[in-house]
Chains A and B, each alone.
Chain A
């Protein structure tokens, strides 16, 4: 959450804003402080900022609007009920919600209980993804890099990530050795990281 405190509006400028406008400009850390104080307006702002992202990820995995909304609603309700699950400094809220959304959707796909608590998802500190434009730019970089991946890498990664197949299942489905599947997935993710850092 390195950049979450970087409010683009100067302190002088902020002073003339009313409370609602200040909240809009607030970083995720400030909003989560509000959620911890049971401030519904702060929670609503978090929802407005990230519900689309969480819903889209769930929809990509589940391919069903109803289920995807269930997963999305449950995640945000858990954030409201247990905001301490997200620890500032352990990565961006957007990244954390993205991983939680994917994992919860996969759990739903497997029709099992959540395999991990949302508390267990830990990310590295990274850029300020609370800024919509920055988030969109990063998504664009990732999509572009994904499209450039060799087809076999792309397929292995998508089967594991969005279809929720284990490496053994992918190996069985594709006839490719386990070790190769592991390497392809790892390499593909590493290339995505490089694309964003470039």
Chain B
């Protein structure tokens, strides 16, 4: 699947298409995490896939799809961001297609009444707006004073500074694997592991350097302190490892790792 340095383009293509099993995906994912060249190749392959996707025959959206989408995001948005439908005649009444001349004087009188009422309304609203602005300015002044006080406390040289932490900070899970390929000997010591639910187990995997499928290397469950170990599991002799990984599987274990990988460590290359 991989040559000694990089993943083949064929396998990267299948990886990008999600056409590999999870066991086949694991070593590629591990390699990609470390290899910028293969990540760039993967991006190029994804570009090819985009072209392929765009070859699909184009269809019109189902009726109402746009409205359904806008309603959905509208429900998730704040009122301030609501879309304003643009009216072709936003500033006044819609134009009428037919008018009767004899109504003009009455219409003019009615219009004057409407204008007068409108001016009164405008005056009232302006007064309300002024009151609102005054209240807002007062509130902003209070907020500004409060912010200044907070800043003074934060910057004061006389202030005492104490760092508080939780009594028992959550430790980071770690594991150390010691592996002798020529003898097929492996010891793993893990600490600070999260408790695992009934019916599940941690499973250790050897990721072979030749790109073949991950090899199961022992099941383990942590004790009350989060410690666990795997000592000399039954594994093939002479397998050069590229990395080790730990996954969570059903209690009986699995023949292929189930993502995600909860712990992973790459074998240092020669000279590191």
Query: What CA separation (Å) do A186 and B8 show in the bound complex?
Result: 10
Q: How far is the CA of A142 from the CA of B51 in the complex (A)?
A: 7
- Residue among A20, A48, A124, A160 making CB contact with B19, cutoff 8 Å: A160
Minimal Cβ-Cβ distance residue in B for A81: B76
- List residues of chain B with CB within 8 A of the CB of A115: 18
Q: Are B14 and A56 in contact (CB under 8 A)?
A: no
- Nearest Cβ in chain A — how far from B255, in angstroms? 16
B3 within 8 A of partner (CB)? no
Please tell me if the beta carbons of B53 and A101 are within 8 angstroms of each other in the complex.
yes
Decide if the interface of chain B is mainly helix, strand, loop or mixed.
helix
- Give chain A interface residues in 137-153, CB to chain B under 8 Å: 138-139, 142-143, 146
Using C-beta atoms within 8 Å of the partner chain, give the interface range for chain A: 35 or more
- Choose among B14, B17, B49 the residue with the greatest number of A CB atoms under 10 Å from its CB: B17
CB < 8 Å neighbour of A193 from B14, B18, B39, B51:
B51
Q: How far is the CA of A80 from the CA of B57 in the complex (A)?
A: 26
Q: Is B62 an interface residue (CB 8 A)?
A: yes
A25 part of interface (Cβ distance < 8 Å): no
* A interface footprint on B44-60 (CB within 8 Å = 1, 0 otherwise): 11111111111111111
Which of A73, A94, A101, A146 lies in contact with B55, CB distance below 8 A? A146
Q: Does chain A have a CB within 8 A of B254?
A: no
| Inter-subunit contact B46/A166 (CB<8 Å) | no
* Shortest Cβ distance from residue A110 to the other chain B in the assembled complex, whole angstroms: 9
Inter-subunit contact B59/A55 (CB<8 Å): yes
B residues near A (Cβ < 8 Å) are: 9-11, 13-14, 17-21, 39-40, 42-62, 65-66, 68-70, 72-74, 76-78, 81-83, 86
- Beyond contacts A91-B50, A122-B46: 10 other A-B pairs, Cβ-Cβ < 8 A, are A38-B78, A51-B69, A56-B57, A73-B72, A95-B46, A98-B49, A101-B53, A142-B55, A162-B56, A168-B21
